[in-house]
Amino acid sequence: MSGVVLILIGLVLGFVGVRSLKLSMALVGFAAGWFLAEVFDSSATTDLLIGLAGAVTLFLLTLFAARLIFWLLGAVTGVVVGAKLFFVVDQGDSSLVLAFVFIPAVALAGAFLAERMRHRFMRWATAAAGAALTLSGLGLVAPSSLGFLRDPNKPSTQTTSFLIWVALGIFMVAVQKRQQTADD
């Protein structure tokens, strides 16, 4: 997967957020598909195809399931955030069992919070997912210098990657809030 594509999707998702639910669903679907394909070390073509399938699937679900939109968007955004957290805390001994438990747990928490808190939670969730994609894309574009942003492998780079992720997410939330205030 091209790091530039991930950066662009991450920036749009992080800065636009829930202003466009259909766009958010397509971007989060792509991100979830891509991150899940990455867990299995698939090829770039497979990552792209699974990402596109996720985007199309979630976009179509958005059209058919408007009542469940926040729950679904929260769940899939939770997959993206859970997968990024998994990559950040993983010590290099990836356990598929742990991934299959951890990532869905974060997805269910995201679904629950999105259903309860709606736009307020989704602003934070889309910012966290957008920041995760952006940083992973930067790690792919410049693996020698920024590779730790995609997959940190030492405690010091895990901490640094996490702090940069949080800072970028907070910045994206601030931009979304400013856009909402300008729209009102």
Cα distances (Å, whole numbers) of residue 41 to 17, 133, 158:
29, 17, 20
pLDDT at 1 over 90: no
Amino acid 174: pLDDT? 93
Nearest to 78 by CA among 43, 153, 129, 21: 129
pLDDT band for 155, please (50, 70, 90 cuts): confident
In this predicted structure, what is the pLDDT of residue 161? 93
Which has the minimum average pLDDT: 8-12, 55-59, 65-69, 141-145? 65-69
The residue type of 15 is F
Per-residue confidence (pLDDT) for residue 22, from 0 to 100: 74
How many Å separate Cα 158 from the centre of its chain?
Answer: 17
Q: Please tell me which residue, 92 or 177, carries the higher pLDDT value.
A: 177
Distance CA 183, CA 71 (A): 25
Average pLDDT, the chain: 84
Q: What is the pLDDT of residue 103?
A: 86
**DSSP code of 46?**
H
C-alpha to C-alpha distance for 2 and 48, rounded to whole angstroms:
9
Radius of gyration from C-alpha coordinates of the chain: 15
Find the mean pLDDT for residues 113-124.
84
pLDDT digits (tens, 9 = 90+) for 40-92: 878 888 888 888 888 888 888 777 776 677 788 888 888 888 888 888 877 66
Tens digits of residue pLDDT in 159-176: 999 999 999 999 999 998
Mean pLDDT for the stretch of residues 91-108: 78
Q: Is the dihedral of CA 147, 152, 157, 159 positive or negative?
A: positive
Predicted model pTM? 0.71
pLDDT for 184 equals: 55
Tokens 């438990």 belong to residue: 101
- 14-49 tens-digit pLDDT: 888 767 777 877 888 888 888 888 778 788 888 888
Q: Pick from 83, 3, 94: which is nearest to 35 by CA? A: 83
